[in-house]
Amino acid sequence: MNQAGRIQQWSQRFNLRLLILVLAIGLGVNVLGVGHLLVAFRWMLSPADLQLLVQLGGLLLLVLIPAAGIYSLVSEFAFWEGWLQGLPTPASLFEPAVARATTHDCFLVYLDGIHQLERDHPPRVSDFLALLEQRLPADTLLVRGLETYTVMPVALAEDAGSAWFWRRLFALQEHYPNPLVQLIAAVLVQANNVIKVGISSDRRYGPILNYELALKISLRLAEAGFRPDCGCRIALTGYSGGAEMAMGVADYLRRITRAQVSIISFCGVFSGNQVLQQLAGITMIVGSKDPVAAFGRFAYPGRSPLLPLSNWNKSLAAGRIERCEIAGMNHNGIHGPFSDAFRLRVIKSILAALQH
């Protein structure tokens, strides 16, 4: 067996052991803590609330996660076979332009984290993007509001095959009087986005999902006035799981738009498995107290320094990856990148990366 084969075999074994470890830890927590949780739930919840909570928990474990994964793969297959309408072919994306279609030299595309439920971003993210947009150079256009975790260019609540389900969960999250039930409903929605991140990093099914998202981004760019060969460049900035989606679509987007593409991630959780060698550059903005982003480095073996032949380490060795650390910043909350304490520092780091 050659060296590449041994590395691939070791990577597969590592992924299996990591999965077994995570499952064992989760099982131990469930077994040891179930009695205390039941006492707390009886004190906090009414019988009707408790019954709904048990139903949502069973739905999450037995139905939603497997169904969301299967539905995602079936949707991608249907798209690949040409059964779905809504995404154009690359040849029809951009109209021929005699003159320059835009005055912008750079298009900055924002891809949100797994908390995204619809086109509109949460209030803190919207405030962050508004402040970023104010400080961007005049020749840079911010493209926002992309549905990062849906197959078609629509929000979850508008997806033809599952809208009825997501609308019910959204109603529980927004209007149910018990905050714990609202939290569980939000977790159920985010589980769909986590699955999409996992598919994006997979070498078997990820290319289809990433190609779909690249088409959606290209469609939005065309609406914003972008045209191939206009000399414009594209920068993808992704938060948390959005960084994985940016890594996945970057090379496809480069081929479709025939433009220079770079990536700016902050608090990113990503695999680095995708084709990265042809990108203009990658900037990682990380917090010194961000355990989620740090875990991503260990969860994906391709980012380990022990595997020098991985796509990530090849790009790292070629000097195409730059790391910028912000002291004291966490993944979210009052010390996260969207907080008053750190958002200006994150924005300054993004602006500095755009100058490279």
pLDDT tens column, 31-75: 444 444 445 545 555 666 656 666 666 655 566 656 666 666 666
Q: What is the pTM of this model?
A: 0.77
In contact, 263 and 238? CB cutoff 8 Å: yes
Residue with tokens 């919840």: 45
Q: Cα separations (Å) of 81 from 9, 72, 76, 149, 260?
A: 32, 14, 9, 20, 29
Kindly state the average pLDDT of the residues 150-176: 65
150/213 Cα distance (integer angstroms):
8
In contact, 172 and 185? CB cutoff 8 Å: yes
120/245 Cα distance (integer angstroms):
18
Residue 143 pairs in a beta bridge with 109
254/280 Cα distance (integer angstroms):
10
Look at residue 39 in the predicted model and tell me its pLDDT: 52
Quickly state the pLDDT bin for 251 (edges 50, 70, 90).
very high
pLDDT tens column, 274-290: 989 999 999 999 999 99
Look at residue 201 in the predicted model and tell me its pLDDT: 86
pLDDT tens column, 311-353: 999 999 999 999 999 999 999 989 999 999 999 999 999 999 9
Look at residue 34 in the predicted model and tell me its pLDDT: 44
pLDDT-wise least confident of 95-104, 169-178, 210-219, 284-293 = 95-104
Hey, what are 145's tokens? 């509001």
Hey, what are 69's tokens? 């994964």
- 300 sits in which H/E element: none
Look at residue 180 in the predicted model and tell me its pLDDT: 66
Angle at 282 between CA 279 and CA 287, to 5 degrees: 165
Q: Is the pLDDT reported for residue 235 higher than 90? A: yes
Quickly state the pLDDT bin for 158 (edges 50, 70, 90).
low
Give the whole-number percent of the chain exceeding pLDDT 70. 62
Quickly state the pLDDT bin for 299 (edges 50, 70, 90).
confident
CA atoms within 13 A on the CB side of 356: 19
Average pLDDT, the chain: 78
Residue 109 pairs in a beta bridge with 143, 236
